[in-house]
Chains A and B, each alone.
Chain A
Amino acid sequence: MTVQTTETASAAEFAGVTKSYGTVRAVDGLDLRLDRGTSVALLGPNGAGKSTAIGMLLGLLQPDRGTVALLGTTPAQAVRAGRVGAMPQSGRLIGGVTVRELLGFVRLAYARKSRAHAKEPPVPALSELMEAARITELAGRRADQLSGGQAQRVRFAIAMAGAPDLIVLDEPTAGLDIEARRELWAAVRGYAEKGGTVLFSTHYLEEADDHADRIVVLDRGRVVADGTSESIKRRVPGRTVSFDLAGPAPSLDVLPGVVSSEVSGGRARLHTTDSDATVLALAEAGCVRNLEVTGARLEEAFLTLTHAGPALTHAGGAHAEGGAR
């Protein structure tokens, strides 16, 4: 899939970017171009290099090799010009200040920049900002005394405070419950619908599927898949169908949707991209015994993209956790 826009400069561009921590190569020859006005998900398990890539995009980390461009300039300049908003991974809010005081300060930091560059859009009013992030009722609360979901929405408001061209969200929903996720995504969608460019990282295929136009799958610092959610889902088995075998195992890998399978202890586990079709085919073959359909762990799913084959089961934890934060 390619989204052609009339914009000359891309929102962000990685060219041959490599970054290592000691002997661990967190990002390995990354080439990636993000178009303006799109929502892109960086999908991958822990240690895939998502946070490292984002750190370099925001100018917090320097690549060992290659170049990163942000909004047609260097990351440092784009950040200094207040054109990018960011919600880094796993941050908390400071104590001693209210949400209104904190956000007011952040907004003023951006406001001065937009005055200096008359071309830039004005920063939103504080009340508008709080409404967009759904935190109006939290204005008077102490910033460090919010629930996880509330704090993430405040952090989202911080990212939005400068009316940025691009927002970068590093695992924005990690640790949130379903309701909090829903609220946060509603706020993100509001920004995207106004033409903003969104880059977010996530562990969850479902989240990438629901909120991105394009999904870039990273594993061990490399792009292993890149496309629309349909094209990714065709390749990544999202579900595991398991059932008890009555006799010798039939040829399971030829069933519709099945990418790979394994048999142990009289039970078959099929990794499938289309659990409905797989289950229907099993029913026709009379194989439905103690049937269970579960969401596949992402680590397992990714392995099919990198090393397709029977290595699916035990390698899930083998990824290097190379300090990618």
Chain B
Amino acid sequence: MIVHYVRLEMVRLLRDPGYLVMSLISPLTMYLVFTSLDLTGESGHGGAVYSMVGMAGFGAVGAVMGSGVSIAEDKPIGWIRQLRLLPLRPLEVVAGRALCAMVVTLPPILSVCMAGAVVNGVSLDAGQWAAVLALLWVGIAPLAVLAIGLGYLLTGQQAQMAGLVCYMGLSLLGGLWVPISRFPGWLERLATATPINRYGELSWRVTDGGAPSLTGVLVLAGWAALFAAIAVYGYRRSARSA
């Protein structure tokens, strides 16, 4: 059933391609600007790789937050309530909608990685490329679930503000712009507990020649469980008012 729901929401999304295009413009621009300014503090290839992962992740966060806003906008027209009256489990609806939100992250992820390879000459072996792209995509799942949870709980305007806080604030705190090793010690420790830092870390470990850490994966899984509970609660609650 989840497949039918994802297909319906994807049809809606693809008939509004402007949204997909917008979602890749700012991360792509920022990537190209950041790498030419050497903001990461690592010069040359290391900096280009770090920023590529960071800005691809940043674009992905922005894309999922946008999905939260479109859910909030579905509420006043009664669509969420209508879904609630169909024989669908709340978890199915939440998972389906999160999957749709994840699809929207593909344009920024792919475009920033392509810019990394073509413009900044990032060179990774084929296995690393595959792993980085896969982890950038799969790893966004907890944030996608958070974003749609915010969409169910908040009004369109509130979701926009909350999305902006997560997009800018959590991305900055998570080290997507500047490595957290350049933060003061206390802030660095705080950052390692955030989902976005652990999301970026999945791929940075691969570009450094290693593999994702178990701790990182567990922290992300914990956030995912919490966000899923919030989203299911929000979905059930949102049908009351509209």
Interface residues of A (CB under 8 A from B): 55, 58, 60-61, 79-82, 84, 86, 88, 90-97, 101-102, 105-106, 108-110, 112-113, 158, 162, 325
Of the candidate stretches B1-9, B44-52, B54-62, B144-152, the one touching chain A is B1-9
Contact among B8, B86, B89 with A110 in the assembled complex (CB-CB below 8 Å): B86
Which residues of B are found within 8 Å of A55, using beta-carbon distances?
Answer: 240
Contact among B12, B78, B239 with A95 in the assembled complex (CB-CB below 8 Å): B12
Question: Would you call A97 and B8 a contact (CB within 8 A)?
Answer: yes
Which residues of B are found within 8 Å of A110, using beta-carbon distances?
Answer: 86-87
Question: Would you call B85 and A58 a contact (CB within 8 A)?
Answer: yes
**Alpha-carbon distance between A55 and B5 when the two chains are bound, in angstroms:** 24
Question: Would you call A79 and B87 a contact (CB within 8 A)?
Answer: yes
How many whole Å from B75's CB to the nearest CB in chain A? 11
A-B contact pairs, 10 of them (CB 8 A): A60-B85, A82-B86, A91-B81, A93-B77, A94-B74, A96-B11, A96-B13, A101-B8, A105-B8, A110-B87
Which residues of A are found within 8 Å of B1, using beta-carbon distances?
Answer: 108-109, 112
Question: Would you call A86 and B85 a contact (CB within 8 A)?
Answer: yes
Cβ of B29 within 8 Å of any chain A Cβ, yes or no, is no
Residue of B nearest to A89 (CB): B78
Question: How many residue pairs at the A-B interface have CB separations less than 8 Å?
Answer: 69
Question: Would you call B12 and A97 a contact (CB within 8 A)?
Answer: yes
Q: Which of B10-31 contact A (CB under 8 A)?
A: 11-13, 15-16
Which residues of B are found within 8 Å of A91, using beta-carbon distances?
Answer: 77-79, 81-82
Question: Would you call A109 and B79 a contact (CB within 8 A)?
Answer: no
Contact among A60, A82, A101, A105 with B239 in the assembled complex (CB-CB below 8 Å): A60
Which residues of B are found within 8 Å of A82, using beta-carbon distances?
Answer: 86-87
A92-B77 contact in complex given A102-B8, A105-B5, A108-B4, C-beta closer than 8 Å: yes
Which residues of B are found within 8 Å of A81, using beta-carbon distances?
Answer: 87
Which residues of A are found within 8 Å of B15, using beta-carbon distances?
Answer: 96-97
Interface residues of B (CB under 8 A from A): 1, 4-5, 7-8, 11-13, 15-16, 74, 77-79, 81-82, 84-89, 239-241
**Alpha-carbon distance between A86 and B1 when the two chains are bound, in angstroms:** 20
- The interface centre, meaning the residue of A61, A96, A158 with most chain B CB atoms within 10 A of its CB, is A96
How many whole Å from A57's CB to the nearest CB in chain B? 11
How many whole Å from B148's CB to the nearest CB in chain A? 16
How many whole Å from B43's CB to the nearest CB in chain A? 46
Which residues of A are found within 8 Å of B74, using beta-carbon distances?
Answer: 94
**Alpha-carbon distance between A162 and B241 when the two chains are bound, in angstroms:** 24
A79-B85 contact in complex given A92-B78, A96-B13, A109-B1, C-beta closer than 8 Å: yes
Question: Would you call A109 and B81 a contact (CB within 8 A)?
Answer: no
Question: Would you call A94 and B4 a contact (CB within 8 A)?
Answer: no
Residue of A nearest to B16 (CB): A96
Which residues of B are found within 8 Å of A96, using beta-carbon distances?
Answer: 11-13, 15-16
**Alpha-carbon distance between A154 and B77 when the two chains are bound, in angstroms:** 14
**Alpha-carbon distance between A4 and B196 when the two chains are bound, in angstroms:** 62
Question: Would you call A90 and B78 a contact (CB within 8 A)?
Answer: yes
Question: Would you call B86 and A60 a contact (CB within 8 A)?
Answer: no
Residue of B nearest to A107 (CB): B4
How many whole Å from A29's CB to the nearest CB in chain B? 21
Which residues of A are found within 8 Å of B81, using beta-carbon distances?
Answer: 60, 88, 91
Residue of A nearest to B239 (CB): A60
**Alpha-carbon distance between A96 and B77 when the two chains are bound, in angstroms:** 14
**Alpha-carbon distance between A84 and B86 when the two chains are bound, in angstroms:** 9
Question: Would you call A97 and B11 a contact (CB within 8 A)?
Answer: yes
Which residues of A are found within 8 Å of B78, using beta-carbon distances?
Answer: 88, 90-92
Residue of B nearest to A81 (CB): B87
Question: Would you call B12 and A109 a contact (CB within 8 A)?
Answer: no
Which residues of B are found within 8 Å of A108, using beta-carbon distances?
Answer: 1, 4
**Alpha-carbon distance between A81 and B229 when the two chains are bound, in angstroms:** 23
Residue of A nearest to B74 (CB): A94
A80-B87 contact in complex given A88-B82, A91-B82, C-beta closer than 8 Å: yes
**Alpha-carbon distance between A94 and B4 when the two chains are bound, in angstroms:** 16
Question: Would you call B240 and A109 a contact (CB within 8 A)?
Answer: no
A105-B77 contact in complex given A80-B87, A88-B85, A94-B12, C-beta closer than 8 Å: no
Question: Would you call B85 and A109 a contact (CB within 8 A)?
Answer: no
How many whole Å from B34's CB to the nearest CB in chain A? 35
Question: Would you call A109 and B86 a contact (CB within 8 A)?
Answer: yes
Which residues of A are found within 8 Å of B87, using beta-carbon distances?
Answer: 79-82, 109-110, 112-113, 162
Which residues of A are found within 8 Å of B84, using beta-carbon distances?
Answer: 60, 79
**Alpha-carbon distance between A91 and B84 when the two chains are bound, in angstroms:** 13
Question: Would you call B88 and A109 a contact (CB within 8 A)?
Answer: yes
How many whole Å from B156's CB to the nearest CB in chain A? 15
**Alpha-carbon distance between A80 and B89 when the two chains are bound, in angstroms:** 7
Which residues of A are found within 8 Å of B240, using beta-carbon distances?
Answer: 55, 60-61
